[in-house]
Structure 1
Amino acid sequence: MIKVTIIGSGNVAQHLINVFLASAQIELVQVFARKKESVLHLLDFDKIVTAYTDLKEADLYILAVSDGAISTVSSQLPFVNKLVVHTSGNASITALDDKNRKGVFYPLQTFSKNKPIDFSVIPICLETENPTDFQLIDKVAKSISTAVFTINSQQRKALHVAAVFVNNFTNHLYQIGQDICEEHQIPFGILMPLIQETAQKIKTLSPQDAQTGPARRHDETTIQSHENFLTHDNQILIYKILTQSIQNHGKKL
């Protein structure tokens, strides 16, 4: 079995803890957490450590920490020449301290602590500095997912930016839609079939071919009516920017 230690206790760390505990190919040696209580509901008390000096021998150390903490945490690890990887979509592999072998183990998904997720379909993007280390993290990734990709730091940054557009920004638009519904005493749930169909369509159509609506049709009467109807400046601004972006897509500005 491959021995793995997780350093971190946030959303990504907690999902990794769950999936590794369920894997027949992985032995979860330890989890480092600043507060044991944060992960005590997931694993035994004696597997949780709060001091780096208490970390035991493992084949792989996964830093599931914030981007800003990667450099600091990796520099504080009390060992050398071990394989240490981070889970960031944005940070370069060079963010890790040079005293250990470096890699990236990036699961491309949105994680919430209390929302169960099927890890077997989550794309895991891998990068290492040498082929031997890649073979190891490739085995780890394939033990929990059927979608494993070799992605370098530049490609991963592009993926992360793209993910912000299709996930974070889209979710914010859901929030605006909910605000508009609530302002006019309409249940947000009415929009659920539309949201689901929009997501399903791009499995068979390109986003460009799936695009509909007044901006795509250049329906200026409806566009102006919507802008006049909206009562919040931020909503009007976003509506105008997205309308222009749809209409200008594919054109050189």
Structure 2
Amino acid sequence: MSALIEIDRLTKNFGGFTAVDDVSFTVARGEVLGFLGPNGAGKSTTMKMLAGFVTPSSGTARICGEDVVDRPVAAKRHLGYLPEGAPTYPEMTVAAFLAFVAHVRGFRGSEAADRIAHAMRLTTLEGVRLQPIETLSKGFKRRVGLAQALLHDPPVLVLDEPTDGLDPNQKHEVRRLIAQMAPNKAIIISTHILEEVSAICSRAIIIARGQVLADSTPAELAGRGSSLDAVFRDLTLPKEVA
């Protein structure tokens, strides 16, 4: 398996505070990595550095071999990113927003229309396609964010809490979609839901205080205790993470 995501000694300091401290890992094609940790652990900062939205203090991150600092545009062409909160233009309709994203991605005409339609089918958005985003529920807004990340069919996906705000059926559908895409992509999912890791992740990294505490398969982590919940307790993470 070839590594599509490479993070090497990544560090981010905010003044005297170190949010991410010498973090290294790779994610190969076909892997779904669950990125776990409590609030403030460094998960979102790590993903923002990988996505090119935050500049590292030191270390490197590469997407499909492209350095996110030295070649940011080339790196982002390979990336689908769902950030926390999935910011959009709330006054736009779903269809107009996805058309805007398609234009930014360089798609025109029938190709843009086909990609927009496909992204909406994948995320079940056809029924609200002409509705302003600001009028949607939290779950639908989350699906709009997921649709824009999938629109250009990137080989790398970085998804921050992809099922946040979804009802149980919607969560199942998103997890099924991720499982379908997994063989051809490298995927990182930030989550605090242990059930999600067991359901769709082939590997899990636990981070706390900006440092990697564990990197293993969900089954191997569970073998350290009666459940993954026990692993979190053993690593002295706050109980609310579980």
TMscore range, shorter length: 0.3 to 0.5
Higher radius of gyration, 1 or 2: 1
TM-score (norm. length: structure 2):
0.35
Q: TM-score, normalised by structure 1?
A: 0.34
Question: Which structure carries more relative contact order (alpha carbon 8 Å, separation 6+)?
Answer: 2
